[in-house]
Every structure is written in structure tokens, then in C-alpha cells.
Amino acid sequence: MSTDIFHVTEHTAPACHIRECPGSTVRSQEEALALHVKQYTPLEQADPIPVSTITIIAAHAYGFPKELYKPLWDVVHYQLKQNGFYFRSIWVADMSSMGQSGMPRPLMGISKSFGGNILTNLALMCPRLPTTVVLLDPVIQPTVTQGLGTDPPRAVNYALRRPDIWPNRKTAASAHAKLWRRWDCRCVELMIKFGFGDLPTALYPEMPKGTDPSNPAMTLTTSKYREFLGFSKLTLQSTALRMGSFRLPNLRPPALWNLGAKSFLGVGGSGGSSQGKVKEVILPEGSHIFPIEDVDQTAS
């Protein structure tokens, strides 16, 4: 597991303000926000570290905790080591961009789903910041697809209507067993650990009757209402969000576009493949969440 391979350092840093997005903050759009970041530094490094050694910036999918990708980093480390490559560290934050402090170039970005949109727009804003981007079934589209629509069982209604209180952690895990049946077992364990939190919370300040204090009731770490808000924001239709799709021909860093053949997302166009700057990889059995279903093949 990751602790045997990486030294994990946690950082808290000030984040960008969220403005002109009603409901994103409790009181004012001027509220100061904090960013939680984990830095995974390999215990085994080349000595001395070559100047060309990459740093990886990662972005996770919407509603999935960043810790869920630990098995992927384990296998990425192994695959690179087998091919004689090393990296300085992996930096992954909770759904927000982060500064460059402590990150020598070259920088490689790896991101999934909604995180792919974030990373692509970062590369469009700062075209010489990332050296390479690896996009895992990214949500980059000119229009909103049925997968993000409002008709059941689409993401918006799923987020709003899903249960979010369980008598204990074991029951919460059992309730999601069917949904997670194709996941890598390591990712399931991490989701059970980081995807749920003990009651009480600000949303549910009282414990359900009959709760065993030694085996407390559970709720979602990210509340379903926060998840619903993210999926249903009016800004989902805004020009700014779709701009990543329109500007893909202007993406400067080389890009590796990984897709699941069974994902509900799709892309069109060839990008910069004629110049050797874009490569597409299809995982035949991969759904939209293939990075946590088939960790080894994704890393390979």
C-alpha cells in the first residue's frame, strides 16, 4: 500500500475565491477558502535526482475522495520504475487548482472526469506550466450529455435521491456493493474509509435513535446536497465551462486521452494527433470510472 512506497505529506493552503456562483459559499463570495493537499513522495529516489525528473499534479473526479487514487499511484510508481523512470512526487488536492511552490518542472498532470476539465483549462490558461497532461475519461464537451441530465437515473437525480444515512459503516458499504462490484478491491476499501463520515454533522446534528456509540451511524463525507449543487449549477451551461471543448485545438502540452469504451462520455475530432501530440487509448472493458475498476491497466 501507499505508505510502504510513499512518504505522505499533508498541506493546507489558501484557495481561490469562488465568485458569481450563488450558493457555493455560506455567507459571502469573499469568504477565505482553504485547500487540502496531499503530497506523495517516493521513498526510493534516484540519487542524485535528475533535473528532468517529473512532478505529477493530479485532479480527482467529482464526488470521489482524492485518497481513492492511492492504488493508482502505487502502480504508476511501479510501472515507471520498471522502465527506469522516477518522479519527484504526486500532488493531489480537493477539486481546486494549487500553486507551484515546491514543484520543480517538468510537471505532468493526471486527472479523471471533472478533474480533466480543470486540468485542461489550467493548461489552456498557462500553456507552458504542464509538460504533459493525461486525461482519464475527461468531462470536456460542447454540450451537456445525457449522463449529466436531469432524467432518472442521471447524475443530478441520483445525487439528490440517494440515501445518505446508514446505521454504521458496514451497512453503508453493503448498500453500495452493487454499485462498486467492478471496482478494484483496494479502491473499495479506501472509499469505505474516506467516503463516509461519522454522525453527527452540521447537516445532521442529531444521532439516529438506537445508535451504538462504539459503532456510530454514517453519512457521506461530501453531502449529497453539495454533490447535487455541483451537478445542477446553472453555470453548467455557461460559455466558460464549455470553453475547454472549444479550445482543445489550442491545447499546447502533449496529451494522452484515456477512454472507457463503455463510458457514457464520447469525443469527436482528432486534436493534434497528426503532430504526435495527442494519443488516444481505449480500454475495451472500461466504464467512466475505469481508473478505480482496473487500476493496473490504467497505470500501464
Residues catalogued as catalytic: 113, 137, 288
Q: What is d(CA 6, CA 28) in angstroms, rounded to the nearest whole number? A: 39
Tell me the HSE value of 85 on the side-chain side, using a 13 A CA sphere: 13
Q: Are 35 and 13 in contact (CB under 8 A)?
A: yes
- Give the dihedral sign, CA 52/53/55/56: positive
